[in-house]
Amino acid sequence: MTAPNPNWYLRARLKTRQLLLLIAIDDAGNILRAAEALCMTQPAASKQLKELEDMLGIALFERHPRGMAPTIYGESMIRHARMALSSLARAHEDIVALKAGLAGQVDVGSIMTPALSLLPRAITRVKQQVPQLRIGVQIEASNELLERLQRGTLDFLLARLTGFHDCTELVYEELAPEPVVVVARTGHPLAGRSGLALHDLVQAPWITPPPGSVLRQRFDQLFHNAGLEPPGDIVDTSEIVLITSMLQMSDALNVMSQDVARRYQELGLLDILPLELDCRMDPFGIIRRRDSVMSPGAELLLQAIRREASAPAVQQETEAEQMPATYNLYDIALA
């Protein structure tokens, strides 16, 4: 059996006019009336149909004294012709909307901290203005997101840069620092303890970021600076689902971004221990390719992110309380 050629229509020089003719014949049941509907002569319509049938090597219609009826092959071709023309019509609608800045697709990458508060607030604002805008969100570590940005699969990032990254092709706009705190399950014995100090945590079980990560380096250095050996009872992972599950079923501790921790504390899942750490992550910000041209939708989301990042904390908390609890009407893909 001969394998199908997915590009047969290129060799056949298939014309949009031929697709329209197939649909018109199917609707009218007669090539004369179909030709009239397309402002063609009957000989021209017959010629175009014959060229298509000769190319495919099959009859698309059966000729009867009172008209024409599609064959099984014709029914299949007509069905696909209708789908193709419908898709082209939607493509034109999308282009018109894009030119007006009303729709389109925006793909943004984000690390965990802005994905829990800043980015949702910005997306909510944009969706209130432009419900048709499709927004895709990918949450990963900065290194992975930077690779995707350089491959062109993301429009911009909310992430951080370190000395390991080549910034010559990137534009970085700092947004916010990222202090860290110690968290534990709700009701943990240390949660209400007064005068808690770092040496009280050395013997505790910990779930920490993997060795080599920025936060792990600063976590270990925190203990060294206090003249202590870093904890030895450790599980290494950065998977937030595993971290929260293990914290809730044990007395383990974890160090995470203050904004992330506050969100989990608001949900009643974790408690922030009463201990101030001399430790913070590098600031995160907007990262985009220097040679990229932002679409109107991407620019709209960027502007919303900048406004939300510069809004006072009190205003953010008030607005967050006024937001609906669910956003299932929004076309947001979290990956």
pLDDT digits (tens, 9 = 90+) for 120-139: 999 999 999 888 888 999 99
**Could you tell me which of 181, 184, 180 has the C-alpha nearest to residue 253?**
184
- Residue 297 in contact with residue 105, Cβ under 8 Å? yes
Mean pLDDT of 310-330: 46
Say whether pLDDT at 313 is over 60. Answer: no
Task: Give tens-digit pLDDT for 192-208.
Answer: 888 889 999 999 999 99
d(CA 335, CA 107): 11
d(CA 105, CA 96): 14
Least confident of 1-10, 66-75, 162-171: 1-10
Sequence-separated (6 or more) residues with CB below 8 Å from residue 305: 118, 119, 122, 158, 175, 286
Residue 42 structure tokens? 């009957």
Least confident of 68-77, 240-249, 275-284, 321-330: 321-330
